[in-house]
Structure 1
Amino acid sequence: MFSQLTDLDLRLIRVFLAIVDAGGVTPAQATLNVGQSTISTQLATLETRLGYRLCERGRSGFSLTARGAQFVDAARTLLSAIDTFGMQARNVGRKLVGTLGIGMIGHTPVAASARISEAIRRFRTRDESVRFSILVRSPGELEELLLSERIQVGIGYFWHRVPSLEYTEIFAEDQLAYCAKDHPLFAQAGNVTPADAAQHEWAWRSYPLPEAGSSTTPHNVTAVADNMEAVAMLVLSGCHLGYLPEHYAARYLKEGLLAALNPEQMRYRVAFHMVTRARQHRTDIVEAFIDDMQAAHSSRGEEESHTPVSR
């Protein structure tokens, strides 16, 4: 077991985390830029120094042992503390020093992205020395990252509520029902009734969409997907109808590949939220960024498809 941490120990720990993030020794070669035998030797050295096995690797694949999973959390905490200490030591006297991890879902609407960028710009005018770390993940993964404190702010669509997290609506997104140019309803697009659309096969999300309501939720669902790219692929096949974000479908409409079935009747609005841990667990950095998000939304004015940040 470690009695004192050395530079070698820290280097071996970083190698181990790179292996975990890559999903195995072989895929970690590209990240670490060294050969598989060298990585295996370094991993074995770390396990010898610890006195226990961190992972299983071989023909059956890569997997963490129970101790290895616990060590991952401890190692990330250690390296984060080291990075924070180094930043604080270099910036003694600054008001805000540390790291701000922001997680987002993919394909955020342009107007919403502009507001987030504005918030970052405002934050950068503060007396700060903060390193931004921005990830793109699914909503479920964002909540897990928040709970494990690997990020401090999540932005996206969340269909349930974790009691220990706070959800603040920051904008809304309109979803419309579409068909592809090869679909039988394409010629009627714009005037398709919900009853006519219900006779055809649909692609739907694999997670709950409470905002859709019973009036827009199709019953003839023959395909499901967990992201808008996959739904778009199913709709573009001409075999399914499906709902897509209006901003996301715009490029396909421009190219004549998609058409909205009935923009007035077959639509719903999805609220997107900024998620953080409860106020008592938030750092000054997070509080400052929330203030800047509020200011960014206020400065750009009210738009029909967006709501201001409230706290």
Structure 2
Amino acid sequence: MRPTLRQMQYLVAIAETGKFGDAAKRANVSQPSLSAQIADMETQLGTILVERGRHGAFLTPLGEEAVKRARRVLRDVEDMKAFLQSGGASLAGRVRLGVLPTVGPYLLPAVTRQLHVEYPDLRLSVREERTIDLEAHLHDGQLDTVISSVEDHSDADHMPLFEESLWICAAPDDPLAQSAGDVRLTDLSGRALLTLGYGHRLNLTIQSIAEASGAHVSAEYEGTSLDAIRQMAEMGAGVAVFPSLYAMTEARRDPDLVVRRIDDPLARREISLIWRHTSPLADRLPRLAEEFKTAASTILLGRIN
């Protein structure tokens, strides 16, 4: 006998949760049933894959290798299912989209409505994740395609969607908020820049800006969202740095918000739709990219009042 797809799913769930109970909840199965399936898998393979302990479940070295291979198998099965459900032609069926949290909330609302009109049989399943998690989940098959910065994704095809500038926001009584026009790097010298935590490409970009300008990334605060960074900046904790989609969307929503564009090549980033070379959706995803590209253009070409 060979390990079943269900057993492989259970093993991956244990690897990702570290506990049999949590893995069972994720797989929507009872813990005794999951434990029995893993034990049966180990018997078939003649080796221990999971070390059981009072503090959780730990993969053995062979277990880690089994998880890597199981993820590839499960990814290929999902690819096959996506291809067959789509009929092999148009944008239809379920497409699992991963997106940066600095992009998703500001780009997707408008484009998803349009997609529903043009492709009524398409079911877009969206998950916001950090850059490093998008890369991992694209290649293990949990995601079909991602909206991200292309330099962070290896062995993948892509289609550029848009390029955006970075903007700053400071407290109302800060000189940076009381001036108009673009900001030069020299204007940021000596300032504390606020950014997101580890795993976000935006963090690395802001670090490069800090090094070039004589500023520094704040060691006292790492935001979990752009809204959180904005709030800290407005309270005087530092200078927030935002991408254009966020800056323009929020400035239109809140006329009292003062944002200024950073005028420097370092303060730009390119966002693309990215998918695996082997994806069965590869011939259809460019159509999806065109929809995202049009929506982004509408936002970025608008003016801030």
Decide: shared fold, TM above 0.5: yes
Shift in CA distance, 277/83, structure 1 to aligned 2, threshold 3 Å: closer
**Which of 245, 248, 262 is matched with 2:246 structurally?**
248
Contact 2:20 2:56 in 1 (8 A): no
Contact 2:85 2:93 in 1 (8 A): no
Percent of residue pairs bearing the same amino acid type: 19
Shift in CA distance, 252/21, structure 1 to aligned 2, threshold 3 Å: farther
Q: Report 1:161-172 matches (<5 A).
A: 164-172=155-163
Q: Which residue of 1 aligns with 2:61?
A: 66
2: distance between equivalents of 1:98 and 1:247?
29
Indicate the RMSD between aligned Cα atoms, in angstroms: 4.4
Answering whether residue 156 of structure 2 is matched by residue 156 of structure 1, we say: no
Shift in CA distance, 163/248, structure 1 to aligned 2, threshold 3 Å: closer
**Which of 216, 238, 253 is matched with 1:220 structurally?**
216
Shift in CA distance, 72/252, structure 1 to aligned 2, threshold 3 Å: farther
User: TM-score under structure 2 normalisation?
Assistant: 0.68
Contact 2:10 2:38 in 1 (8 A): yes
1: distance between equivalents of 2:104 and 2:80?
36
Q: Report 1:41-56 matches (<5 A).
A: 41-56=36-51
**Which of 28, 31, 39 is matched with 2:23 structurally?**
28
1: distance between equivalents of 2:52 and 2:115?
42
Query: 1:202 corresponds to which letter in structure 2?
Result: L
Shift in CA distance, 254/245, structure 1 to aligned 2, threshold 3 Å: same
Query: 2:155 corresponds to which letter in structure 1?
Result: S
Shift in CA distance, 119/254, structure 1 to aligned 2, threshold 3 Å: closer
Shift in CA distance, 188/142, structure 1 to aligned 2, threshold 3 Å: closer
Q: CA deviation at 1:170?
A: 0.5
Q: CA deviation at 1:272?
A: 1.2
Answering whether residue 271 of structure 2 is matched by residue 275 of structure 1, we say: no
1: distance between equivalents of 2:115 and 2:275?
16
Shift in CA distance, 231/116, structure 1 to aligned 2, threshold 3 Å: same
Query: 1:70 corresponds to which letter in structure 2?
Result: E
Contact 1:228 1:244 in 2 (8 A): no
Q: Report 1:1-311 matches (<5 A).
A: 3-4=1-2, 9-32=4-27, 36-80=31-75, 95=89, 100-108=95-103, 112-113=107-108, 116-117=111-112, 120-121=115-116, 124=119, 133-158=125-150, 160=151, 164-180=155-171, 185-186=173-174, 189-191=177-179, 197-204=188-195, 207-209=203-205, 217-223=213-219, 225=222, 228-229=225-226, 231-232=229-230, 234-235=232-233, 238-248=236-246, 250=250, 254=254, 259-260=258-259, 263=260, 268-278=267-277, 281-283=278-280, 285-294=281-290, 297=293, 303=298, 305=300
Structure 1: unaligned runs, 5 residues or longer:
307-311
Query: 2:162 corresponds to which letter in structure 1?
Result: F
Q: CA deviation at 1:143?
A: 2.7
Contact 2:207 2:216 in 1 (8 A): no
2: distance between equivalents of 1:204 and 1:78?
37
- Secondary structure of 2:290's aligned partner: helix
Contact 2:78 2:141 in 1 (8 A): no
Question: CA offsets per residue over residues 77-129 of structure 1, 9 Å max, x none?
Answer: 444555666777888x764688644321124266632575367447736xxx8
Contact 1:178 1:243 in 2 (8 A): yes
- Secondary structure of 1:106's aligned partner: coil
